[in-house]
Amino acid sequence: MLKKIALGSLIAGFLAGCAGTEIDESLLPVELVDFEPSINVSEIWSVDIGSGAEEFDAVLSPVLSGETVYVSDHDGRVTAVNLETGRTQWTNNLRTAISAGVGIGDGLVFVAGGEGVVFALSQEDGSLVWQKQITSEILAAPQSGSGVVVVAAQDGRVVGLNAADGEQIWRADAVKPLLTVRGNASPTILDSIVLVGHDSGRVTAYRIADGAALWIARVAVPEGSNELQRMVDVDARVIYANGLVYGVSFQGGIMAINPSTGRGTWFQETSSTNEIGVYGGTLAITDDRGKVISYSSATGDLIWESEDLLNRGVTGPVVHDLAVAVADFEGYVHLFRRNTGAMIGRIRISRDPVRSPLIPIEDGFIVLDTTGRLTALRIGDS
């Protein structure tokens, strides 16, 4: 029987096992240290987009297309927000629990219900275009390109649907371990191929027209004497930048992959289920302890690493021209100097956790907290 477990429950279970003993202080959240900011961080606007999430609900992420931010809450409300003003352009309440979203492509906006239903809405006005039941629960936002909607399901299957009407075009099955981290990687579409990270530690390139596997890259090899030790999920979205594909795994590492051949060009050991950030020659991740790490995107050489936010439940980073930004479980957004890793800015946008990946905009970031508060931030030199 396949099992998916929340990463937080691994930590909770470990702490429970320490009951009656002295708790290792290295597992406690690091307290924030005062510093002199050297960058300005300001709020542009902030709006409530709907209901929040329970602690271990699937993470929903906004998506930016042109001058519009598309976002969903967990109760079925999908909203389009003007990037400049924060004003709502349209809202559609599907009145069903949402487990994955938001995806976008081919003029459509996609979310998925917990029972395995994909909903396609018009990007222009939010009207429901079609809905389609697939094989199992969906925990990753569907994505679309070249007229094909690609859905990565919890049971390991990858499905291609016709963007016009939702009818299935193809299906590909992937190896599924007995025990996995709760969550799946959202597909990444590059012209005629789609990249999908799997719970087996592999990244597969599928031909988007028919689902044929073009190559498979192994980011991590399962090792250990039990299923917990052998978990190597690729749960962060695979990304393409600077002519390379990047994938990161839990209890494995981060790998740069040649998109033509599927062969690795560099590899660094780490462990993460958080999204990868890339800008120019900088690639950044946060590992599963909250260490923020910066590498050369071309060679994988370590640039810097920071332990200033250990055990604070930090999100994956966004890399900006000036800074690397992450958010944490107390609603703080932290900024590190991109080339040195020095802490240069901090702003508290919420009293609640931020678990959704930050979304980069031209001069800042979009942040969604667990109560459903969407905030736009602007950054610049002081």
Q: Does the pLDDT at position 214 exceed 50?
A: yes
Contacts of residue 157, defined as CB under 8 A and 6 or more positions apart, other chains included, come to 134, 135, 136, 171, 172, 173, 174
* DSSP count for the chain of H helices, then E strands: 1, 34
Q: What is the mean pLDDT of residues 338-361?
A: 96
Which region holds residue 243: left if phi is over 0, alpha if psi is between -120 and 50, else beta?
left
Say if 302 falls within a structural domain: no
Do 119 and 76 touch, CB atoms closer than 8 A?
no
Q: What are phi and psi of 200, to 5 degrees?
A: -85, 0
Q: Please report the pLDDT score of residue 182 as a whole number.
A: 81
Say if 134 falls within a structural domain: yes
Among the three residues 273, 294, 329, which one is the final residue of a domain in this structure?
273
For residue 219, give the CATH number of its domain: 2.40.10.480
DSSP state of 26: G
Under the banding of pLDDT at 50, 70 and 90, the label for residue 7 is low
Contacts of residue 230, defined as CB under 8 A and 6 or more positions apart, other chains included, come to 177, 179, 222, 223, 224
pLDDT averaged over every residue in the chain = 92
Write out pLDDT tens, residues 61-107. Answer: 999 999 999 999 999 999 999 999 999 999 999 999 999 999 999 99
Among the three residues 173, 190, 212, which one is the final residue of a domain in this structure?
173
Do 110 and 144 touch, CB atoms closer than 8 A?
yes
Tokens of 160: 């291609």
Write out pLDDT tens, residues 21-51. Answer: 677 888 899 999 999 999 999 999 999 998 7
Write out pLDDT tens, residues 106-131. Answer: 999 999 997 899 999 999 999 999 99
Q: Are 119 and 205 members of one domain? A: no
313 Cα distance to chain centroid: 14
* SS3 state at 334: strand
Say if 133 falls within a structural domain: yes
Q: Please report the pLDDT score of residue 13 as a whole number.
A: 47
Say if 329 falls within a structural domain: no
Q: Are 83 and 138 members of one domain? A: yes
Under the banding of pLDDT at 50, 70 and 90, the label for residue 53 is low
Dist CA 179 CA 5 (whole Å): 8
Q: What's the domain count of the chain?
A: 2
Name the nearest CA neighbour of 139 among 308, 273, 309, 14. 273
Dist CA 187 CA 207 (whole Å): 12
Amino acid at 113: G
Under the banding of pLDDT at 50, 70 and 90, the label for residue 341 is very high
Among the three residues 127, 145, 173, which one is the final residue of a domain in this structure?
173
Q: Are 196 and 261 members of one domain? A: yes
Residue pointed to by tokens 């950054």:
379
Say if 226 falls within a structural domain: yes
Q: Are 179 and 140 members of one domain? A: no
Q: What is the mean pLDDT of residues 318-338?
A: 96
Under the banding of pLDDT at 50, 70 and 90, the label for residue 324 is very high
Alpha carbon distances (Å) from 337 to 39, 106, 286, 293, 326: 9, 37, 15, 12, 12
Name the nearest CA neighbour of 63 among 121, 18, 8, 133. 121
Say if 299 falls within a structural domain: no
What number of residues does the chain have?
382
Amino acid at 233: D
Q: Please report the pLDDT score of residue 114 as a whole number.
A: 74
Dist CA 327 CA 329 (whole Å): 7
Q: Please report the pLDDT score of residue 4 as a whole number.
A: 53
Q: Does the pLDDT at position 226 exceed 50?
A: yes
Tell me the chain's radius of gyration from C-alpha atoms. Answer: 20
Which region holds residue 115: left if phi is over 0, alpha if psi is between -120 and 50, else beta?
alpha
Say if 111 falls within a structural domain: yes
Q: Are 77 and 114 members of one domain? A: yes
Residue pointed to by tokens 């590492």:
253
Say if 196 falls within a structural domain: yes
Under the banding of pLDDT at 50, 70 and 90, the label for residue 184 is confident
Q: Are 206 and 129 members of one domain? A: no
Alpha carbon distances (Å) from 322 to 168, 289, 376, 380: 44, 25, 17, 8
Structural domain containing residue 202: 175-273
Q: Are 118 and 190 members of one domain? A: no
Model's pTM, two decimal places?
A: 0.92
Under the banding of pLDDT at 50, 70 and 90, the label for residue 16 is very low
Alpha carbon distances (Å) from 265 to 32, 44, 100, 233: 37, 40, 32, 20
Name the nearest CA neighbour of 263 among 207, 209, 203, 211. 203
Tokens of 242: 């600077």
